[in-house]
A and B are shown apart, each in its own frame.
Chain A
Amino acid sequence: METLLNDFSPGLFAVTTILLLALIALMVKFAWKPILNSLEERESGIANALAAAENARKEMQNLQADNEKLIKEARAERESMMKEARAIRDKMIADAKEDAKEVTAGLIEKAQASIEHEKQSALAEIKKNVAELSIGIAESILKKELSSKKDQLELVEGLLKDVTLN
Chain B
Amino acid sequence: MKIAQKSIKFILIVALALFTSVNYAVISDQNHGNQNDGGRVNTKEEVEAYILHHIKDSHDFSLFSYTSDEGERKHIGFPLPVIIWTSEGLVTFMSSEFHHNDDGHVIVEKNGLKFAKIHSKIYELNKEASEVTFDETHHATNAHKVLDFSITKSVVGVLFIGFLLLFWFSRLAKQYKTQKIPTGFARVLEPLVLYVRDEIAKPNIGEKHYRRFTGYLLTVFFFIWTLNLSGLTPLGFNVTGQLAVTGCLAIFTLVIYSVSGTKGYWMHMIWMPGVPVLIRPVLAIIELAGALLIKPFSLLVRLFANISAGHIVVMSLIAIMFTLKESLGVVGATGLSLVLSFFITLIEVLVAFLQAYIFTMLSALFIGMAVEDHAEHH
Hey, which bits of chain A sit against chain B, CB under 8 A? 4, 6-17, 19-20, 22-24, 26-28, 30-36, 38-39, 42, 45
Contact = CB atoms under 8 A, between A and B. Distances in A.
Contacts of A27: 165-166, 169, 215, 218-219
B188 interface: no
Contacts of B121: 6, 9
Contact of A8 (B85, B172, B218, B244): B244
16 contacts: A4-B243, A8-B243, A9-B57, A9-B148, A10-B147, A10-B244, A11-B150, A16-B248, A20-B158, A23-B223, A24-B215, A24-B216, A27-B169, A32-B214, A32-B218, A42-B176
Interface in B162-213: 162, 165-166, 169-170, 172-174, 176, 180, 190, 193-194, 197, 211
Contacts, number: 119
Contacts of B166: 23, 26-27, 30-31
Given A13-B247, A38-B176, 13 more contacts: A8-B244, A11-B149, A12-B148, A12-B154, A24-B216, A30-B166, A31-B170, A31-B172, A31-B173, A32-B193, A34-B174, A34-B176, A38-B173
B14 interface: no
A9 B72 CA distance: 32
A11 B248 CA distance: 11
What 9 A-B pairs come out closest when comparing CB atoms? A31-B169, A38-B176, A11-B148, A28-B215, A34-B173, A13-B244, A12-B244, A32-B215, A16-B248
B233 to A, nearest CB: 20
Majority SS of interface residues in chain A?
Answer: helix
Interface of B: 56-57, 84-85, 121, 147-152, 154-155, 158-159, 162, 165-166, 169-170, 172-174, 176, 180, 190, 193-194, 197, 211, 214-216, 218-219, 223, 242-245, 247-249, 251-252
A14 B149 contact: yes
A28 B56 contact: no
Contacts of B248: 13, 16-17, 20
B245 A12 contact: yes
A16 to B, nearest CB: 4
Nearest to A17: B248
Given A11-B147, A11-B148, A27-B219, A16 B245 contact: yes
Nearest to B239: A16
Contacts of B170: 30-31
A11 B245 CA distance: 11
B169 A42 contact: no
Nearest to B154: A12
Contacts of A34: 173-174, 176
A36 B249 CA distance: 23
A33 B180 contact: no
A68 B316 CA distance: 80
A49 B17 CA distance: 51
Nearest to B159: A19
B249 to A, nearest CB: 7
B73 to A, nearest CB: 25
A57 B151 CA distance: 63
Given A23-B162, A38-B176, A32 B169 contact: yes
A149 to B, nearest CB: 153
A35 B244 contact: no
A78 B180 CA distance: 55
B216 A35 contact: no
A20 B252 contact: yes
Contacts of A17: 248, 251
A12 B57 contact: yes
A9 B148 CA distance: 7
A58 to B, nearest CB: 27
A28 B219 contact: yes
A4 B151 CA distance: 21
A13 B244 CA distance: 5
A36 B158 CA distance: 24
A38 B147 CA distance: 44
A12 B172 contact: no
B58 to A, nearest CB: 11
A19 B173 contact: no
A36 B216 CA distance: 13
Contacts of A31: 165-166, 169-170, 172-173
Given A27-B215, A31-B169, A32-B169, A15 B155 contact: yes
Contacts of A35: 169, 172-173, 176, 190, 193
Contacts of B245: 12-13, 16
Contacts of A16: 154-155, 158, 244-245, 248
